[in-house]
Structure 1
């Protein structure tokens, strides 16, 4: 006689099935936990890798940007101011992040204050330069006027990727820095030999050739090195931004909206760019009666 139930002590079929299910469930749960851990690790690895990639890219970009240096000497106002006898006003270099120092116009009212914002790729600037450069030079030589020239580079992306506008403005700054007496001649030759908008423009070797053609005689090796290194690139960008964002000093004109922007005693010239007689009349009108009676009447230079 058997006491206490089944005599063989083995689990029943139902018990075995329940045990298998329990074990399978435990295995599945452990696998899910493992999968979750793997996903967390994977996401963390991807994030870390992404941060590393971003850091590398940032480092490359930072290393590719030259440090911001001082601006060119003789352009503390963001322009070259030329006075009687075509003599440029000497100023120290504008330090990084320093604000430009506006030139003070003649207080007597007997000298016309001409300020020109130009882009060396701008065909309208070339028209104005061709028509008026010689008569402006005559006025300034005699002391009837001063002229302040501000190179800007608003057409940097209009030269098939060569950034000619920026490079030309940098070259002008190089000449202003090392050979300020030759700046006006170099400014003129850049317009005389102006490439068409939308083309690649002159390469650096050609720009250095224009330095020679303009008759620059001093510090040419330093100027050429300055052109090769685009030494004043950061300054050109900053000064252009100041011109287009404003305010413009000594005028009610808020900022330049195009080139050329020509101001005479703070008043903007909006007449024909290729008519020297019209510009001469505007100079007389803007300068006022004192100017017209105290100085020689400016006459347009003879053609040819």
Structure 2
């Protein structure tokens, strides 16, 4: 007798095992392929996400380092110079330093102000009409530099920056009324720690000042914050020690008041008598020495909603 049937059965089992092994190998191969495809898809997707994130970050960085556009033509050095008749005068190519003041020149008053600075408002309240009388008569000029040092003190609304931008809008579109608008902004100064005036309120305040021209363009300028980046850049320069009209290399904070380049040390309380005395002293023997008893001229009125 032979074992053929048993051998045939063994062979059949071997064939089945081999077939099962091959099927398992093919399944493993297919699984590996699917896993490689999944990993490749994840890698491609992650790469796309990373590229998009890099693109967004790059755009943000580029926008953040992009230089601010030019400021108003009347504020080439960051401030507007107001002269006789309370009208702006064109700034020279370089701001005068204390040594550059000629005895025959009008006394030069320079002010760095923040429209949310309460000490600035106190100085304005005590001395604005006196300064206006000197400037209006031609005895002095005043350079007003709006800065935004207190931008983070208005519940996130950046009122200090928005108000300085509004002032720059007026310097651009209606410079003859800048001094009156400057007075109006201080007259309606909000308290620090509040949200301040809204853009709509700023528009009504600024365009409500008597004589303001091009009101529609000023409203658009305030809404678009046309000069906000420029104000921010100028503020950074000033706080970094670049202070036109001064020999100072460190900004003491607003208000910074100079007369012929000499820093006025604020008193407590701030009084007009003290500032008048300082003006006469800083002016020295100049032919333009103003009288400390000059009669103030009425300031321009403002109406705000």
**Counterpart for residue 94 of structure 1:** none
| Aligned-residue offset at 1:260 | 0.8
What do residues 223-249 of structure 1 show as CA deviations (whole Å, max 9, x unaligned)? 222222222222211221221123223
Helix, strand or coil for the counterpart of 1:88?
A: strand
2:302 is matched with which residue?
none
Query: Which residue matches 1:39?
Result: 39
Correspondence for 2:95 = 103
Q: How does 1:266-281 map to 2 (within 5 A)?
A: 266-272=261-267, 274-281=270-277
CA offset digits 1:254-297 (Å, max 9, x no partner)? 1424111112222222221621122222222223x323x65332
1:244 and 2:239 are equivalent in the alignment: yes
Match of 1:282 in 2: 278
Tell me whether 1:70 sits opposite 2:58 in the alignment.
Answer: no
Q: How many residues align?
A: 290
| 1:263/1:64 CA distance change after superposition, 3 Å | closer
Say whether the 8 Å CA contact 1:161–1:200 is kept in structure 2: yes
Contact 1:280 1:300 in 2 (8 A): no
Post-superposition shift, 1:212? 3.9
Q: Secondary structure at the match of 1:217?
A: coil
Bigger drift between 118-127 and 258-267 goes to 258-267
Alpha-carbon distance between aligned partners in 2 of 1:194 and 1:252, rounded to the nearest angstrom: 30
Structure 2 SS opposite 1:74: helix
8 Å CA contact 2:87, 2:176 repeated in 1: yes
Query: Normalised by the size of structure 2, how large is the TM-score?
Result: 0.77
Root-mean-square deviation over aligned CA pairs = 3.8
Give unpaired runs (5+ residues) of structure 2. 299-305
Q: 2:148 matched to which residue of 1?
A: 153
- CA offset at residue 127 of structure 1? 0.6
Q: Shift in Å at residue 184 of structure 1? A: 0.3
Give the whole-Å Cα distance in 2 for the aligned partners of 1:217 and 1:35: 72
What is the CA distance between 1:10 and its match in structure 2? Answer: 6.2
Shift of 1:299: 3.0
Give the conservation status (yes or no) of the 8 Å contact 2:130–2:295. yes
Instruction: Give the superposition deviation at 1:167.
Output: 1.4
Q: Does 1:201 align with 2:196?
A: yes
Query: How much does 1:211 deviate?
Result: 2.2
Evaluate the alpha carbon distance shift between residue 89 and residue 160 of structure 1 in structure 2; reply closer, same or farther with a 3 A threshold: same
- TM-score under structure 1 length normalisation: 0.78
From 256, 259, 263, the equivalent of 1:261 is 256
Structure 1 gaps of 5+ residues are 92-99
Equivalent residue, structure 2, for 1:55: 55
| Higher RCO (CA < 8 A, seq sep 6+) | 2
